[in-house]
Structure 1
Amino acid sequence: MTVDYKKKYGEQLQAIKENYKAFDQPYNGKDNDDYVNGQGFCCNDGTPEAAQARAMARTRTTNGNFHDKDNYEKMQFYYHPNHLGSSSYITNLDGEVMQHIEYVPFGEVFIEERNNTWNTPYLFNAKEFDEETGMYYYGARYYEPRLSLWMSTDPMEEKYSWLSSYCYTSNNPIKYIDPTGRDYDEIVDGQSITLKAVIFVTRDSYNEAKASAEILNQQSGKWTYNFTSKQGSLKEEHSLVVNFDVTVQLVEQGENEPSSAAIQREFNNASEKTFLNGFEVVPDDKLNKNVNGSTSGGNYIQVKKSRKDTETGAHEIAHAMGVVHSSKGLMTAESSSSFRNKELDKGSIKDMIQYPLKGKVNSEYNQEKGQIPAGKGTLRNNSPFSIKDLQRGDIKSKEL
Structure 2
Amino acid sequence: MDAREIIGALRRGEDLRAEALTWFAQGLADHTVSDAQAGAFAMAVCLQGLGCDGRAALTLAMRDSGETLKWQLDGPVLDKHSTGGVGDCVSLVLAPALAACGVYVPMISGRGLGHTGGTLDKMESIPGLSTTVDGARFHQIVASAGCAIVSASADIAPADKRLYAIRDVTATVESLDLITASILSKKLAAGLDGLVLDVKVGSGAFMKSEAEARALAGALVETANLAGCPTRALITDMNAPLAPALGNALEVIEVMKVLRGAARGPLYELTLALGAQLLFSAGQVASEDAAREKLSNAITSGAAAERFGKMIAAMGGPLGFIDTPERYLPEAPVIREVTAQSAGYISAIDGEALGLVVVALGGGRQVESDLVDPAVGLSEVVRIGMRIAKGQPLARIHAAREGQADRAAAAIHESIMIAPEAPKTTPLVHAVIS
Larger relative strand fraction? 1
The TM-score, its normalising length taken from structure 2, stands at 0.26
The TM-score, its normalising length taken from structure 1, stands at 0.28
Work out which structure has the larger RCO, using CA pairs closer than 8 Å and 6 or more positions apart in sequence: 2
Larger relative helix fraction? 2
